[in-house]
Amino acid sequence: MVLVLAIGDLHIPHRAADLPPKFKSMLVPGKIQHIICTGNLCIKEVHDYLKSLCPDLHITHGEYDEDSRYPETKTLSIGQFKLGICHGHQVIPWGDLDSLAMLQRQLDVDILVTGHTHQFKAYKHEGGVVINPGSATGAYSSFTYDVNPSFVLMDIDGLRVVVYVYELIDGEVKVDKIDFKKTATTRSSN
């Protein structure tokens, strides 16, 4: 019953001023146990704000982040799942399934969280799950014109993860839910 927030690409203050108020009202401290941030926050104030939501914060370095101490990739395990984080601008072509799958195999994770495309994506791919939380502020993207503010909340419970997607479409928060189950097969390490 672990709630993990996946969020990223806020681009504050360069491309956006702040999170949408409806998102801000939903993100209250106390409910979320971990935060995974793909990067491009960009400034320390946003980092502090996220830290106030939950003290357990994991960030990777996006190309516009002003704090250069963030790592390029990060892995952590929550419950039965292994999660990997990367901003995604390093993986070319940007947003390409196969390249991301390559990264996933490299990191050896069950769930890979990347960003950079500012588009929400969540799909199963070769035994793992790839999640792109999109841009939480709906910041301008060089990749696509159609950007909606979005973020992802994962509910990890045993071998099952429920992915809740929160999107701001036409001023309304729309929620969607996707279920993934991890097969309890033992992975052999090569």
Partner 1 sequence: MSPAAIERPMLESACSKSSDESRRSFANLRGVQWRTDLGILPPLSSSTIDDLRKVTADSRRRYACLRRHLLVDPHLPKDGSNSPNLAIDNPLSQNPDSTWGRFFRNAELEKTVDQDLSRLYPEHGNYFQSTGCQGMLRRILLLWCLRHPEYGYRQGMHELLAPLLYVLHVDVERLSEVRKEYEDHFTDKFDGLSFQENDLRYNFDFKKYLDSMEDEIGSHGNATKVRSLDELDPEIQTIVLLSDAYGAEGELGIVLSEKFMEHDAYCMFDALMNGAHGAVAMADFFSPSPVGGSHSGLPPVIEASAALYHLLSVVDSSLHSHLVELGVEPQYFALRWLRVLFGREFSLENLLLIWDEIFAADKNKLEKGAGDDTGSTFGIFSSPQGALISAFAVSMILYLRSSLLSTENATICLQRLLKFPENIDLRKLIGKAKSLQALALGPSISSSSPRCGGAYNHSKSMVVRSHTLPSDSISPKTPLNMVPDSYWEEKWRVLHKAAEQRNGSSGKQNPTPKKGWTEKVRLSLSRTASDPSPAKAGCGNDHKPSVRRRLLEDLSQELGLDEDTEKAGCDEVSGQKDHICKVVEVENQDGVNNDFTCVAEERCLSGIAGSEENSSLFSDPSSPLSGANNHENDSEKSSVASNSSIDETDDHPEANHEDTTLPVSHLPNNATLNSGDNNEATGKSLAVPKERKLLSGKFQWFWKFGRSNDGEETSEKGNGALDVTKSANDAGSQSSTVCSSVDGSCYSSTTGDLVDQNMMGSLRNLGHSMLEHIQVIESVFQQDRVQVGSSDNFSKNVLVGKGQVTAMTALKELRKISNLLSEM
Q: On the CB side of 49, how many CA atoms lie within 13 Å of its CA?
A: 16
Window 29 to 58, contacts with partner 1 (CB under 8 A): 30-31
Tell me which stretch binds partner 1 (CB under 8 A): 21-29, 62-70, 104-112, 126-134: 21-29
DSSP 12: B
For the four alpha carbons of 171, 6, 67 and 45, in that order, the dihedral sign comes to: positive
Query: CB neighbours of 85 closer than 8 A, spacing ≥ 6?
Result: 36, 37, 38, 58, 59, 60, 73, 74, 75, 76, 112, 113, 114
Structure tokens at 164: 């809740």
Instruction: Verify binding: residue 176, partner 1, rule CB under 8 A.
Output: yes
Contact letters for partner 1, residues 122-161 (x by CB under 8 A): -------------------------------x-x-x----
Q: Indicate the residue among 88 and 138 with the shorter CB distance to partner 1.
A: 138
Q: How far is the CB of 9 from partner 1 (least distance, A)?
A: 19
The contact set with partner 1 (CB under 8 A) reads 3, 25-28, 30-31, 153, 155, 157, 162, 164, 166, 173-177
